[in-house]
Amino acid sequence: MKKLLSNEYLVLMVRIILGCVFIVASIEKAANPASFVQSIGNYRLVSFDVATVMATVLPWIELLCGLAFLFGLFTRGGAFLSFIMLIVFTAAVTSAVLQGLDISCGCFTQDPTVGKVGWMKVGENVLLTGASVFLLFSTGIRLSLERYFRTRNAAVDTRTGG
């Protein structure tokens, strides 16, 4: 397992995939928060006021996580936040499926006819959650700003004797 967590190419691939998923997921939500409030409300889990706050904040957290993954900066922080979000999303989708709700998940589009909740969506979320856990514990930093800053700081330390 340690070998997988340190495989620089695998870590890079997972970072790119998760980064793209979260950036794409954030775009329509951020552009149309009123529709996203409705999508959240369709789950029947939170009040309108809570749904409004969630619809205002979540897309920007998703965007920041996506950018963190793509640029390889604060990757562990992004992985932790994405893990928490995905646990909540998975629980919400599971709840909707168990309640028999015929609703769109609201994941990538606010179109009510696209992306219906179901066990397939739960499975997708579980896979994404696993990818977040993988990044949380990974050690690979290939093609990342983290690597750039580490090597830059190391070079500065050797020049200054620190």
Find, among 114, 106, 120, the residue nearest to 43 by Cα: 106
146 vs 162: CA distance, rounded Å: 20
pLDDT in tens, the chain (162 residues): 778 887 889 999 999 999 999 999 999 999 999 999 999 999 999 999 999 999 999 999 999 999 999 998 999 999 999 999 999 999 999 999 999 999 999 998 888 788 889 999 999 999 999 999 999 999 877 777 787 777 776 665 566 655
86 vs 88: CA distance, rounded Å: 5
Q: Are 29 and 110 in contact (CB under 8 A)?
A: yes
Token pair belonging to 27: 């775009």
Task: Tell me, rounded to whole angstroms, the distance of Cα 46 from its chain centroid.
Answer: 21
Which pLDDT belongs to residue 155?
62
7 vs 134: CA distance, rounded Å: 11
Token pair belonging to 107: 């994941």
pTM of the model: 0.86
Length of the chain counted residue by residue: 162
